[in-house]
Amino acid sequence: MSERRKKATPAKPGRPTKPGKPAWLSRNVWTLSWVSLLQDAAGEMLYPLMPVFLNT
């Protein structure tokens, strides 16, 4: 039995981007940016409360 090898096809691009949206700003980049921002804000809010947790 011989198998035919398929030719490598170029990667299909994702969904077409909107005219005002840069091509590199995918949903993953957008989501990770927001998660990073929220983690940073949560960390900054924790610093004033740190002595309360350490003294109990």
Per domain, the residue ranges of the chain are: 26-56
Q: Provide the pLDDT for residue 35.
A: 97
Q: How confident is the prediction along the chain (56 residues), in pLDDT tens digits per residue?
A: 556 666 665 555 556 666 777 777 788 889 999 999 999 999 999 999 899 889 87
pLDDT number for residue 6: 64
Output the pLDDT for position 3: 64
pLDDT of residue 36: 97
The per-residue pLDDT for 21 is 74
As given in the structure block, the two tokens for residue 29 are: 């980049």
How far is Cα 9 from Cα 35, in angstroms, rounded to an integer? 34
CA atoms within 13 A on the CB side of 24: 1
